[in-house]
Amino acid sequence: MKEKLTIRPYARLITMLGDQLIKNEIIALVELIKNSYDADASWVKVSFVDFNTDFSVKSTSKIIIEDDGCGMNAEILKKHWLNPATPDKLKRKKEKETTDKGRIMQGEKGIGRFAIFKLGKNIKIVTRRQCIDKEGKFIDAGEAVEDVIYYNFSDYDDNFLLENGEEKELYIDNLNVFFEEVVPKEIDQKKITLGTTEIDRKPYGTKIEISDLKSSWTVTRIDKVQKEIGKMQPIFSKDDFSDFHVWIYQDEDVHIAQDIYKEKLTTCLENKSVFKVKSGKYISETNEIKFILNEKPVHLGFDDADIKGLSLFTKYFKNESYKTECGDFEFEFYIFDLNIDSDNPSKYMLDQDEKKIIKEHRIYLYRDGIRVMPYGDPEDDWLRIDMARGTISAGAFLSNDQVVGCVYITQNGNPKLRDKTNREGLIEEGKALEDFINVLQLILKYLRKKTFAQYLIEKKRKADIDRVKKGKPLEIIENAKKQYANDENALKFISNFEASYKQEQRALHERIDRTESLAAVGLSIETASHDIMLFVKKTIENQDALIKDIMLGGDINRDELLTRLTLVRGNLSMIDTQMKDIQLLFPSTKTRTKNIDVKEIINKVYRLYMRAFAENNISFQIEASTTPLIARTTDAVLLQVMINLFDNALYWLKTISNKREVLVFVDGNRQRMIFSDSGPGIKEDDTPYVFEAFYSGKGEEGRGLGLYIARQLLDKYDYTIDLAEFSKDKLLKGANFVLEFIREVQ
């Protein structure tokens, strides 16, 4: 015969739901304040009563949390408050999405109330229910009685295994909780003062008194409580008339005024941030990203080259048709420059106090206007930015402490992004959270690789101009020689310094030249290696077949043997040609200046890219004047320039579905050439930076060195490379580069 059993939780479940599940006292207090918010309170007063001056705890210390919310009555207390995991709020949220004040209820698990037991063992709850009219709406009146609940667990140890030091098997239903109904005296209509304002206390609400406190408190911890409460609602909100305020008191004195902290932060955000990203929105259905960047609208999509060029995109999202599960969300970011040189100050420079304020904040997450903790804490890395900076490249990411932001989600719009039971972030299951984090990382990476990179280039340009204004090093040295012409010791020192400077300058230039050469070799080998390995493989296969046939014995067909050997010879010849072209890039060849037919170099580079062009349906055409274009330079210089142009064209042409073509016009009469493709072209906001070092329109796919090195190399021979400016030089609709060569008199 089957026996019917019941589940009977041990009393220590209270410890698990309260003391162990809730991370710290700050989160515990915030959970209780959230309950007041859900109850439509307009204010909450948290009082630390009878503590020492330094907030150390006395035996008589109490924490009192009082509000003017809708309160509870006997039925609610007995049916819902006393029962763990009550579905009351969950049901109410399904029946009605908002409270009478239009708030979205935060709690739904029915265990947030156990945060009380993180704070202390002796609890008294006094509550008075707000009256309801016939239509079920709250009215401005309180019920005739106050309801009081008493918990006193001081006789038990923290794990509810001992009572008065004696070991006992305690279940939840063994614990005594007392209830009484009394005439209203604590929650009644009267004048009270909050801060500097005297208000009428409503005849309804809740008051929680916690004593026999578990934790030690300090001024620092109270300050942190104050700051965390200040962050409970969006930190960027400028609404000073919010319908929900929290006050912290020590006995009869207000501890900290919240608006001072917020005012300093707001001043930094508005006046010292390099970039303000406002009105941001991600639309999951179409993978659209929209925001206002320093008053300029930006509209991106997963099909945008700036997004597709990021390594995160290719690794996680794969292609633009990826369907995210996180839902739509909104965002705001303020980006700072923490590395402004005091020798070149700007309006964005932060003093030490301002840096401290900024570094106290990170990117916060708010659901329906209430913070999801602990996201936004300085020690929290929920977007995994610090981890990526440490394992990939610090320079590829905005640092956590230079971005202050808010991300906004909703319960209706983001149902798969759910809070953990312990109130420490979102549940890590399924792919909704991964999608959410990766979309945010994508936005932040774009801002670093594009927007902030452009800012750093302009910053460097300004610094270079300032250095020129202050005088070049050699000019300063010459001026010093004149100034100290009669001082033999000073002149000797200046001369030694000059010699040392020139020696270091020569070494630096040699290092730069070698780096440029190695960059060219790397790119060419990367391009040619596939073809070379293909020819090597075919050669080995043919040789293996010949060896096998010979080992079998019998008569040898001379014609077949000749055919096989000719194939081997052809493959080896192709490998030889490819390697000779690559060798032209080696540093040992760079000094061999001579007259070079530019068209021949173009054809050599095309051979490197022939297979890749064919695989991607890219047509190649070269047109030339009857007069050859001759450049007085080295093979290495021209090869590197052409390789970069071909490589860029290949990358961008692969991003379009229309006709793919490359057209090169070589004009020996005018000593110039135009390299053109039918790709998406160069974005207008990229054009001032395409020849700058380490800036790439390809996102993280690009090295940002190719065009920079090409211009540097050509400049050494007084040749130039620029984007086509006039319509007559724009042969195709994509990128058009004009290379000008000076005809030397022979």
- What beta strand segments (E) does 88-233 contain? 120-128, 130-132, 138-142, 146-152, 162-163, 166-167, 177-182, 190-194, 197-201, 205-213
pLDDT for 252? 86
| Token pair belonging to 414 | 């983001």
Phi/psi of residue 385, each to 5°? -75, -45
pLDDT given at position 241: 47
Which are the contacts of 167, defined by CB distance < 8 A and separation ≥ 6? Answer: 161
pLDDT given for residue 746 in this prediction: 44
Burial 357-370 (b: 16+ CB within 10 A, else e): bbbbbbbbbbbbbb
pLDDT of residue 103: 81
Amino acid at 648: N
Kindly report the three-state secondary structure assignment for every residue of 269-303: HHHHCCEEEEEEEEECCCCEEEEEECCEEEEEECC
**Residue 642's CB: how many other CB atoms inside 10 A?**
24
Separation CA 645–CA 639 (nearest Å):
10
CA distance 490 to 84: 85
Secondary structure of residue 145 in the 3-state scheme: coil
DSSP string, 681-745: ---TTTTTTTTSTT--TTGGG--S-HHHHHHHHHHTTT-EEEE--SGGG--SSS-EEEEE-PPPP
Query: Which residues of the chain, if any, have pLDDT below 50?
Result: 241, 257-259, 588, 590, 744-746
CA distance 304 to 696: 14
Give the DSSP H or E segment for 19.
Answer: none
Structure tokens at 90: 């969950």
Instruction: Tell me if the pTM is above 0.85.
Output: no
* pLDDT recorded at residue 263: 76
